[in-house]
């Protein structure tokens, strides 16, 4: 799925966010917000 993402930062945000989600450091909404922000970066 990451082949169509505009930059590698989205995948990094995804991996980090999933780890934080599993440890209770974030929630789904915050994770999606971080991924959206990374997606908009160029």
Question: Could you write out the three-class secondary structure of the chain?
Answer: CHHHCCCHHHHHHHHHHHHHHHCCCCCHHHHHHHHHHHHHCC
Cα 20 from chain centroid?
10
pLDDT of residue 3: 82
Enumerate residue ranges in the chain where pLDDT < 50: none
- pLDDT score at 4: 83
- Whole-angstrom distance, CA of residue 8 vs CA of residue 23: 23
5: region left, alpha or beta (phi > 0 left; psi from -120 to 50 alpha): beta
Q: Residue 42: its pLDDT value, please?
A: 75
Residues 6/13, Cβ–Cβ less than 8 Å: no
Residue 1: predicted pLDDT: 65
Which pLDDT score is estimated for 5?
84
């Amino acid at each position: 799925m990451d082949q169509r993402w505009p930059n590698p930062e989205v995948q990094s945000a995804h991996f980090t966010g999933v780890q934080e989600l599993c440890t209770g450091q974030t929630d789904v909404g915050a994770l999606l917000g971080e991924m959206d922000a990374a997606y908009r970066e160029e």
